[in-house]
Chains A and B, each alone.
Chain A
Amino acid sequence: MAQMQNAQSVALQLEKVRDKLPLLYERDDILLTMIQQRGDVERVSSRNMRLPLQIRPGGKAGLANMDGGDLGRGSGTVYDVAQVSPVFFRHAVEVTKLVEYASNAPEKAVENAAKREVKNAMAQFRSFLDKLVQTNGNGVLGTIASIGGSTFTMAKPPGSMLVYYNQTIQVYDPTLTTNRGSCNVTAVDPFGSTITVDAVPGGTSANDVIVHDGLSGAQPVSLFGILYHQSNATTGTWLNLNRATYPVELATPRVNGNNSALTPGAVRLAINKVRKALGSNQVSKLIAYTSLEQEHQWEQLGVTISQIIKEGAGGRASDLDLLFTGEKSMAGVPIKSSINANQSRVDFLDLSHWGRAVMQDIDFYDVGGQTVFPIYGASGGLASAYIFYFVTGFQVWNESPRSGAFIDNLAIPSGY
C-alpha cells in the first residue's frame, strides 16, 4: 500500500509539471527547436501532411512576329506534392523506490528524485532528438570503422558524437537491410570516436552502421534531418517525391570541401549558389549551421570577432556592448554552431522554409490519466521501482531544398 501511495505522490508531482514540458524542451541554440512549428500546418493526423510545391515554371516566352507569324503553343506550371508522416519517439525513465525514499525530503537530499529525473530526462530526450535531426532520415547514428573486442571505432564524421552512454542501439549491415541485433552502450569517447557496448551482436563487422532503438526492418525511417533535406542526390526519394524526376529542383547546392580546411572561397561559393538560385538579395534569412570544429576553423582565419572576445576574455567587452553582443558571422551570415552538428560540414539554412509537422507535442505517456506505471518483478509481483515516459510525434520538413546550400568533406581541425 505504501508503495502505491508514493507512486501516486510522484504522479501528482509530474502532473503538476506537465504543462511546463514544452518550455523545458525548447532551447534556442538547438537546431531542432530553431525549426519552428508552423501554425497553419503543424497539426497533423495519422494521414500524410501534404506540402504542395510549385516545382517548375510554366509559359513560353519569346520573340513574336505580329505580321501573321505563328505565336506558338504554351505550357503550364509544374506542381507536385511532398508528403510528410510524423514518427513517434519515446524516452523511458525508471526510478527505484530506494532513490525516491533517499531524496524525498530536504534533510535527505538537495533535490528530489522525481524533479531530478524530469530535468535530466528532458535534457537527454531533447539531445537525442537534436542528434537525430543531424542525420539522413534513416536513424543512422554512425558507421563502424573497426572493431576491437566490444569497442567500435566509429568513422568520422560523425564519429561517436550522436551516441550517448547507456543508450540502446542496433547494428545494421551497410545496406540497412539486415538487423544484426541490439546492444547497450557502456562507454562513449567522443575524442577517440569510440563506443563500447555490453555485447556485440553476432555478425557485426566493419562498415556496419549503428541506428537508434525502436527501428525495425529494412530501410528504416526516422526523423528527416539535415543530411536528408540538404542533399544534392539525384536518386532516391525526398518526402515521397522521386529525386530522379526533379534532379535539379530538389537538389540543394553543394560545395565540395575536398578534405581541405574551410576557406572564404568555399563559403562564398556556397552563399553565391543560393543568391544565383533565388535572386541576389535573397540570403538575408540564411544561417550558417556548423559544428564547433568548423566554427573554430573559421575563427582561425582571423576575420571574425572571436568567441574569446565575446566571452569577455579580452577585457574590453563593455566598450561597445551594442556591437559586442552581435552575432558571430561567416561572410556576413550569422553562425549557429552545435556540438551535435556534422564536423565536416557547413550548412546554410533558411529556416523560414523549414517546419515541424506535429501530431503529438511532447508530453507524458498517459493511460486513462495515469502517467506513472509500476514495474513488475520476475515473480509477477511488483518491483520496487516505477517508470514514466516522455513521448512526442512529429516530422521535420523543408519546402524549398534550393533555398539552402552546404559545404561538405571539410577537413576537421586538429585537436578534435
Chain B
Amino acid sequence: MTAVESAVTPRVETATPQVVAMTYREAVREAIRAAMRQDSRVFLMGEDVGRYGGTYAVSHGLLDEFGPERVRDTPLSESAFVGMGIGAALGGMRPIVEVMTVNFSLLAADQIVNGAATMLHMSGGQFNVPLVIRMATGAGRQLAAQHSHSLEGWYAHIPGIRVLAPATIEDARGMLPSALDDPDPVLIFEHATLYNIEGQLAAGAGAVPIDRAAVRREGRDVSLIAYGGMLRTAIAAAEQLEASGVSAEVIDLRVLRPLDDDTILASVRKTHRAVVIDEAWRSGSLAAEVSARIMEGAFYELDAPVARVCAAEVPIPYPRHLEQYALPRVETIVETVQRMTTHAG
C-alpha cells in the first residue's frame, strides 16, 4: 500500500466478535475521543463544545476528560476560529473545528474557500492544511429558513477540499480518523436528524475509507443515489418499491468531493435508471452534478432520464406540514420510480 492509499483505507483492526449498541452521536464522540487520545496534536475548537457539552451533545464529557487546552470554547467568531484552525494546522497541530451548523459556516466561507482550499496551490505545494471542520447540516426540525440549509453541494464545488457526509454509524465513527490523516482540508457534514439514530457498531471499529461511495442495498431496476440524511429516506423508498415488485439499488455517496464516479456509473449501467435524492434545492445542486456525470458516463445505458428528488425551491418553512412537504419524501421517490418503470419487465 502506498503512502497515498494508506491515508484513506481503513487501518487493519483485529476483529472481535462483539458489537456495541451506539447512537450516531456517540459514534462521533467516540471518534473524537479516540483521536485525541491517540494523537496529542488533535484538539477540538468551536462554539459551546466545552462547558455546554456541544450543541448536539456530541462533545459531552470531553472537556472533563481532556481539559480546556484541548477542548476550546470559542466566542461567536466563525471566521476567526476557522481561520485559526487553518493557522493551527499549518503550525503542526491537527485541529477539529466544529462550526455549529452549515448555516453559520457562511460567516467563515472566505476562510474555507479562499484560505484553506487554496493554500496548497497558492504556495506551489509548500503548505498543506490538515484541518478538519465538522458541521451539522440539514432540515426537518422546524427550525425555519436560516437554520435548515444543506450547502454541502456548495463546498463540494471547490477544488482543494474533501467533503464527507457520514450517513451511518460506522461512517460517523470511521470518517473522522481518516479525515485527520488527510494532509488537506476535510469538511464533515453530520445531518442533524442522524444524531439520535441507533445501531450497532463492531467493538473496535475504526477508520473507514474516505474516497468512495457504498452500495447500501443491491437492486436491479433503478439506482437510488443519496447521501447524508437522505440515505434513510432512500432506503425506506426502496423497501416500499420492493413490495410493489421494483428492485431498487441504493447508493450512499459518502464522499461528496471527490465523487465516486465508478460506483455510481457501475450501478446505473446495471439498472439503467437513476434517481438522485438530495435535500438541497435542485438548482445548481450536487444532484445536478451527479445527474450530469451519469449523462456523461452512461448515456447509452439510460432507459429513462435521470430524475432528481430535491427540496422544493422555497426557503424552508417553519410549520411541520409545510416543511415535510417541501423536503424529499418517500412517496415522491416511489412515485418517481414508478413513472420510470411503467410496464417495465
Decide whether A and B are members of one complex.
Answer: no
Binding site for A on B (CB under 8 A): none
